[in-house]
Amino acid sequence: MINATQIRKGMIIRLNDKLYRVEDMDHVTPGKGQAIVQTKIRDLNDMTTRNYRFRSSEKVEKVMLETRIVSYSYQDGDQYIFMDNETYDQIGLDSDFLADVVYYLKEEIEYTLESFEKKPMNITPPLTMEFEVVEAEKSMKGATVQASYKPAKLDSGMEVMVPAFIEAGNVIKIDTRDGSYVERISK
């Protein structure tokens, strides 16, 4: 059991005998009254989301998950096939389960798969990954360097905001936690 103030995004918790993944959380301290933790949680049974509010002094059961390293292999229809790096078992996950992680799938890249009682609960890509820019708007002449970001499309299909000097053909590093630009790898 942990205090509600220790809840973090991505954590799996148990409420009323159901498992939930914390999608978002905010610790709110009003000027008057008791602090609360406002969360957006996803029911891992039916994949619905809802808002839930905890008192900061409330205890919450954090579920301990099994973690294993898997590599992405290929896509088969709506299923994305991963291979367990220790047992070589194949694991099929659908696009609803993967959500935005689908943009970070690259063959032979290692991902962390978290399971509870042999059922997959969460998959995490590496912290940063490299992608090629396939489409980027031309930078405007005379635009200042500060705050001059433009949209770019990556080879994975994801769109990100990049600095003005990034062009199609550049390889860039992306932070997978929020999909933000980190740095340019090559010209």
Domain count, the chain: 3
The residue among 128 and 32 whose pLDDT is bigger is 128
**What are 8-24's pLDDT values in tens digits?**
887 889 988 888 888 88
The domain spanning residue 76 has which CATH number?
2.40.50.140
Q: What is the 3-state secondary structure (H, E, C) of the chain?
A: CEEHHHCCCCCEEEECCEEEEEEEEEEECCCCCCCEEEEEEEECCCCCEEEEEEECCCEEEECCCEEEEEEEEEEECCEEEEEECCCCCEEEEEHHHHHHHHHHCCCCCEEEEEEECCEEEEEECCCEEEEEEEEECCCCCCCCCCCCEEEEEECCCCEEEEECCCCCCCEEEEECCCCEEEEEEEC
**What are 54-75's pLDDT values in tens digits?**
988 889 998 888 899 999 999 9
Residue 79 structural domain = 66-124
pTM: 0.70
Q: Which of 102, 124, 146 is the last residue of a domain?
A: 124
The domain spanning residue 50 has which CATH number?
2.30.30.30
Residues 137 and 182 grouped into a single domain: yes
pLDDT over threshold 80, residue 141: no
Q: Which of 35, 62, 89 is the last residue of a domain?
A: 62
User: How high does pLDDT run on average in the chain?
Assistant: 87
Q: Which of 31, 62, 93 is the last residue of a domain?
A: 62
pLDDT of residue 133: 92
pLDDT of residue 187: 56
